[in-house]
Amino acid sequence: MNYIPHTKDDVGKMLETIGVSSIDSLFSDIPQALRPKSFNIPQGRSELEVTERLRRLSLKNAAHLINFVGAGFYDHFIPAAVDAIVNRPEFYTAYTPYQPECSQGWLQAIYEYQTVICELTGLDAANASLYDGGTAIYEAAMMAVRLTKRNKIIMDSGVNLIYRTMLYTYTSNLSVEFVEIPVVHGQSSREELFKHLDDKTAAVILQNPNFFGAVDDYTDIVERVHKHGALAVASVYPVSLGMLRSPGETGFDIAVGEGQSLGIPLSFGGPYLGFMAAKKELVRQMPGRIVGATVDKDGKRGFVLTLQTREQHIRREKATSNICSNEALCALRAAVFVSLLGTEGLKELAQRNFEKAEFAKCELSKIPGVEVKRSSPTFNEFTVLLPGHADEAVYSMIDKGFACGFPLGRFYKGMDRYLLVAVTEKRTREDIRGLVDSLEAVL
């Protein structure tokens, strides 16, 4: 049982034990202006009381809303087996395998995760995970700058604005030139992109499906990029790869993305998982760590950190990245999730997402004044043009029990009437019809 002091004598004994004269002296290093104005902390409560208090607070969250919001983070079903496996005590260990002889379990788990990412992306090598999809794009851009010795990055504006903002933030003090290419009718403008593509370009960064949900075949762009000696980088939605051509099949040099949709809960914004894969010849410039399989002196299979190019391991100026952690626990969830689904399960998951989104398109297009944009094929996310401001519709739909989508005017100027709608396998026909009926009533 924890001891909770209630009297001045108790406090005095504690101060005497740690060798200070008063509570104020504990904060002597903090300027007076920065100190808290009071410590009005309530008395301790029992476990039952604290649990009930937190439960009541949680009811204030709008967790009951039927979710049609995507914009890079998706409400997918997570089988109970994922939690059952990753919550086993064998995995409650330090995730940093500095000593391979003591870390074979974790090393193998990371190795299996890398294998999953390679199979999904169709590329040769994957690292031991990154923070999220945005930092993964930054790392890919820096790889291209180092490999090509150039500093110009061309990026499609259909790349998630959150990722683009993160990339600009991370490179704000670096000599990197960025050119953003506008999206035309939901797809990348070849004419504009090729106008800026030259022998000074380090990389072209594209997203598929892009932020508007549009699916594109970038083979022609990739071929042109390679003719100029630049690298082609794809940001991808991993669930869509159960249906779409992989980045490797399209010819991309590097593939990155957000792995949240692979068995990781939305969790109010994290922790999430950034993944990266690349062609074999680029592997020495990949950030972070790469786990490899080997054999010991007796010929038994084992796992080691094959490459460690973080600043913890080599001189700082030689490091491929100064981001020193990896999302190993999230990577473990992704590996378990994909392994449970298997190849056919992933294909079925992608097919369900696609079909339910197509059903939602048909139903939404029946609402007078609503136009579903169909200039490009989509996967499970698509753009809808409303007769009024999308922001107003979103707020009104909350009262109806729906998080009905993402208003694109928040990210793109002049798109105040556009709504981005995402449909996952969790949304039933009843959910979709309820969305349509409620939206029609609101409009």
pLDDT digits (tens, 9 = 90+) for 342-370: 999 999 999 999 999 999 999 999 999 99
In whole angstroms, what is the distance from residue 167 CA to residue 162 CA? 9
- CATH number for the domain running over 66-76+343-442: 3.90.1150.10
Q: Which CATH number fits domain 80-338: 3.40.50.920, 1.20.1560.10, 3.40.640.10, 2.60.40.10?
A: 3.40.640.10
Provide the residue-wise pLDDT of the chain in tens; the chain has 443 residues: 344 555 667 788 888 899 888 888 888 899 988 887 777 888 889 999 999 999 999 888 767 899 999 999 999 999 999 999 998 887 766 556 667 777 888 888 899 999 999 999 999 999 988 999 999 999 999 999 999 999 999 999 999 999 999 999 999 999 999 999 999 988 899 999 999 999 999 999 999 999 999 999 999 999 999 999 999 999 999 999 999 999 999 999 999 999 999 999 999 888 999 999 999 999 999 988 889 999 989 999 999 888 776 555 566 667 777 676 678 889 999 999 999 999 999 999 999 999 999 999 999 999 999 999 999 999 999 999 999 999 999 999 999 999 999 999 999 999 999 999 999 999 999 999 999 999 999 99
In whole angstroms, what is the distance from residue 346 CA to residue 335 CA? 13
Q: Model confidence over 236-285: pLDDT tens digits?
A: 999 999 999 999 999 999 999 999 999 999 998 889 999 999 999 999 99
Q: Model confidence over 275-333: pLDDT tens digits?
A: 999 999 999 999 888 899 999 899 999 998 887 765 555 666 677 776 766 788 899 99
The DSSP 8-state label assigned to residue 245 in this structure reads P
Q: What's the pTM value of the predicted model, to 2 decimals?
A: 0.87
Residue 283's alpha-carbon distances to 43, 123, 126, 147, 253, in angstroms, are 56, 11, 8, 11, 11
DSSP assignment of 24-64, as one string? GGGGTTS-GGGS-S---PPPP--HHHHHHHHHHHHTTS-TT
Task: Report the percent of the chain where pLDDT is more than 90.
Answer: 74
Residues for the chain: how many in total?
Answer: 443
- Spans of all domains in the chain: 66-76+343-442, 80-338
Residue 180's alpha-carbon distances to 98, 243, 292, 316, in angstroms, are 41, 28, 37, 31
